[in-house]
Structures are given as structure tokens and as C-alpha cells.
Structure 1
Amino acid sequence: METKEMLLDHTTLAFPFVQELAKKPLTSVPPRYVHPDQDPPIISLDSSSPQVPIIDMQRLLSEDFMDSELQKLDQACREWGFFQLINHEVSSSLVEKVKLETEKFFKLPMEEKRKYGQLEGDVEGYGNLLEMWRDSKLHWRDSLYFTISPPHLRKPHLFPNLPPSFRETLEAYSADLKNVVAEILKHIRKKTKNG
């Protein structure tokens, strides 16, 4: 009996890009994109819909609120695996610039985006992220995934070759995020050390 481990051949299979599929008149969703075992999508967000946990950095760094915010952070990491951080020190203009540069990248012609395509056996690049199993279902999205930090782990064919404005914006954003993480960890260590 074959297992998923046996099916992994360390090559990324050629899947159609979602942006290209969306341009075609489809009468049905291609089978590789159908997830019958998934929860039905949330159609409307009402008060009973699950809400992404929100962590307030200012409360996290405050002596008065640190304990309760640390509990929220712990719960978010255990139950969700992610959270939204508010009141951080990353400028809203930089966050907006990252969004705009990312949108510009995804609006590039397909020939240009293909230059950043995932290579065989690698998840980094442009494509359908982490879909290396022959029988796996694909997500209805194209992704751009690459390592920014630490710089020595960057793939030489990806990050250094991005359009300069996108690369510079990501560098600035990465540096700010690194500072935010360092500040949070410093306060958590201090709290842990002082009990």
C-alpha cells in the first residue's frame, strides 16, 4: 500500500496557475481544486462567526495588562496558529506599501511572474504553495512564497531578482517586523525571568 510519503517525489508538479484558470470560461471547478471534506465556507460574518484573535502590542508590553495579553497570545498560538497584532510600531504607510507592491506583482503578465516560479522540489517561488503530493488537493489561489530573513537563506534566483521597489519595500517591512518580534520577546523574557 502506498503512503503519501511514498508518493512524494520531490518535484513540483506542473499545475495551472489560478489566475490563468480564472480567465477561462469554466463550467465547473477542476477536480484538483474541489475539497469535499472541508468545512463549508463562511458566507457572512456575523457575531457567531469565528474571529481571528487580536493581540494588542501596547497591552502586551504594559505591566498592567501583560499577563492577560500573554494568555490571549498563548491561546491564539495554540488554537489558531496565528493572530492579528495591533498597536505595533510598523508604520501604516509601510504596511500599505507592502500591500500595493504585492498587488503590483500579482498584476504582472504571466510571463513575468513565471520567472519567479517554484523550482522542482522547492516550495519557494510563485505557484500553488506546498502542493507536492500527487493526490493532494490544490487551493484556489496562486502564492508567492520566499524567505526574506535571515538573508543568507534567501534563494538567489528569487528575492534578489524581484522588482527593485518590491524588494526594497519587503526589506524595510522585514526589518520592522524583526524589531517588533525582538521587542515582544524581550518583554516576555523579562516577565518570565521576574516571574
Structure 2
Amino acid sequence: CKCNVFPARIINWQFEEGNVCRYYHVIGRRQIDFHFPKSVVNRFEKPRNLAAPVTSQNSERRKPTVMESSPPSPAVEPVNFGRSLIVPSVQELAKECNEKLPPRYERPQIEPLVVSGDLDWTVPVIDLQKLASGDESSMDSDSELGNLHSACKDWGFFQVVNHGVSITLLEELRVEVENLFQLPYEEKKRKQLWQQPDNHEGFGQLFVVSEEQKLDWNDMFYITTLPSHIRQNELFDKMRKLALKILSHMSRALGMDVNEMEDLFTNGVQSIRMNYYPPCPEPNKTIGFTPHSDADALTILYQLNETEGLQIRKDGKWVPIKPLSNAFVVNVGDIMEVYHCAFPVSNSVCANDTVC
């Protein structure tokens, strides 16, 4: 289960030489612009027709979203955050394909993952309780702030413990997500939980732009949780507060004005994506989640069971992540990376065939 966080006031984007995407933000009365450098994995490619959907170097999985900072009034039609072609249910395919993987899910073009054998390579763990321990100049706070800076700079990933989200709420999330995916296919359709041609919220997959495109071996349920007029829920509010808390500490680690960071993200966009990976007849021929980098500012991941499979790339090798109990895995996204050049990393994430 992953929570994606985007900043507010993405007012415009344009393409410059080299097909590099440039964003424009406004904080107060000051315009801030930045662009994706060549070192970033997930650059947006210039479309032949600027009115056409934007594709990406990253297996056509990305496109920028243009939005206004102020939430629309209730009278405005619901916000549409994109569309994706309707795809089959992998859960249903898994019931039928006992021995042979459907051709559309075969991924021969993906290079074998070089997994690091270095036992010392473990994703950093950040204790939010230490960061919030009263006096910002305390030894615990200063030490943990340095750990956070190193985690963002050297890894682009870290696990968060003592985050303040109750175990009871996380257990409720686990039960509800499992129940949601176990609904019969016909009931999902009857309740209109499947994606529609004009909106990618619901069951399906994201960024599917052609019938020939290779697909991941997973089912997804995607919903946009902010702006708040779309949907309100205790979990979504907790995740919003957690994201702002992490971003606030990151701004301290960078020597930024905390108020500036809060202003950038307070009215931003947040989405929740739930992934389910059914058993796979030929796991060596496919992948649960295409290697990618996240185009948001921050991604917060929560694993609902003990199945391993999540890996991140560091120095050209893939490092398995073993999530700590009740911890979140946090990914510094592309927007945060290019907004703060102090984090010059270009890490990717994937779910390898062990999840199948």
C-alpha cells in the first residue's frame, strides 16, 4: 500500500532542449522553477502533439499533472487525474493460467536484476520520535537529523519508525485492503470499482497507453485522497500529517525554511495505491512491478504481509528491503530530488519476481 504526495501549485510545465520537462511553482508571490536533469531516471519526453498525452522514458508510466493550488468549490465537477486503458484482472488470470504466463505479461526485455550480496547494505531507519524530541538542538535530534540527511542523499529511501500512526489503524487498513481485493470480480464490476475509460481511479493498472504495452503481474486499486473535498477518511488524514511531518524534518536537514516547505505541500495532492500480486505460473518471465522512479515528492509505503520482494537500486545493484514491523518505507521522489539538488540520487524501485 503506497501513499504518493505531490506539492501544491504546479501551475505550468513546458519542454526545453533535450526534451527535459520543466515545472513552475509559486510560493507566495515568488515563482520557483526547476527542471529534471539528465541524471534523473524518470524524464518526461516531449510528445509529438502537445495536446496529446505525455509519455515517459520510464515505460510510459509517467505524465505530469497540471492543477491549481486552490481546491475547487463543491459545485465543480470531480477532479480527473488522468486515464488509462482498461486491462484484464490479474487475479482472474491467475485462476485460469495454471502453467503458462499470458504473452502480454512476459518481459524478456527486462535485464536480470543484479542483487547486492553486501550484508552491510541495509536501508537506513529514521526514528521520528527522536527528531521531534523537544529541543531541536538536542543531541538525539541533531544526530537523527544527520541520519535523515544521509539517508536522503545516499539512498533516497529510508524506513520510518515511531511515526505516530496507530497499530490499530494499520491493522484495520490491512483487513480492509484484503477484503477489497478478495471481492468477487463480478461484484467489483457491479459496485463500479473497476477503472473507467475516462478516469484511472479504481481497480486496474496505471499508465497503460496502448494495447501492445507489456503489463505488470499485479492488480491495483488507486484513489486520490487529496484535495480533501474528493474524499475524507481517518487514514488519509493521518498519512497527510505524517507526510508533512517527514517533509518538515527534511527541510531542517537541508537548512531550508520549514514554513516554506509546509507552504509548498499543505494544499498538495495525495493518492493511495494498493497493489496485490497473485501467484504466477512463470515468475521468472515477468515482474510484479516495473523498475521505476516515483515522479512525486514523497512516497510512503506500507507492506501488509511478510512476503519479501521490494528492492531498491543503489550504485547499480538491487538491495532487498525487509520492512520492519509497523514501519513505513519512505521514497524521496523525483520532484523533491530536482527541487533540492542536495539530494543528487537517481534511485529506482521494483517488486521482483519473488512477489509472484
Q: Quick check: TM above 0.5?
A: yes
Q: Is the 8 A contact 1:60 1:69 kept in 2?
A: no
After superposition, residues 65-80 of structure 1 pair within 5 angstroms as 65-75=143-153, 79-80=155-156
Alignment of 1:11-160 (within 5 A): 12-40=84-112, 48=119, 51-61=122-132, 62-75=140-153, 79-80=155-156, 82-114=157-189, 115-152=192-229, 154=230
Task: State the distance in 2 between where 1:12 and 1:193 align.
Answer: 37
Aligned-pair distance for 1:140?
A: 0.6
Q: Which amino acid aligns with 1:150?
A: P
Structure 2 counterpart of 1:175: 237
Question: What's the offset of the Cα at 1:52?
Answer: 4.9
Q: Tell me the alpha carbon deviations over residues 39-93 of structure 1, each in whole angstroms, 9 at most, x when there is no partner.
A: 44699x97659755543323443523233222244237xx55x543221000111
Report the CA distance between 1:121 and its aligned residue: 3.8
- How many residue pairs were aligned? 174
Q: 2:201 & 2:223 partners in 1: Cα distance?
A: 5
* More deviation, 127-136/83-92: 127-136
- Percent identity between the aligned chains? 32
Matches of 1:34 and 1:183, distance apart in 2: 41
Over aligned residue pairs, what C-alpha RMSD do you find? Answer: 3.6
Alpha carbons 1:56, 1:69 under 8 Å: kept: no
Give the number of the structure whose residues are more often strand, by fraction. 2
Mapped to 1, the partners of 2:159 and 2:246 lie a distance apart of 14
Counterpart contact for 1:58–1:88, Cα < 8 Å? yes
Question: What is the TM-score of this pair, normalised by structure 2?
Answer: 0.41
- Change in CA separation of 1:49 and 1:140 when aligned onto 2, cut-off 3 Å: farther
Higher helix share: 1
For structure 1, the 5+ residue unaligned runs are: 160-169
Q: Residues 12-50 of structure 1: CA distance to partner in whole angstroms, max 9, x if unpaired?
A: 43422001101114431111111112244699x976597
Give the aligned residue type for 1:108.
L
Cα separation, 1, equivalents of 2:83 and 2:169: 36
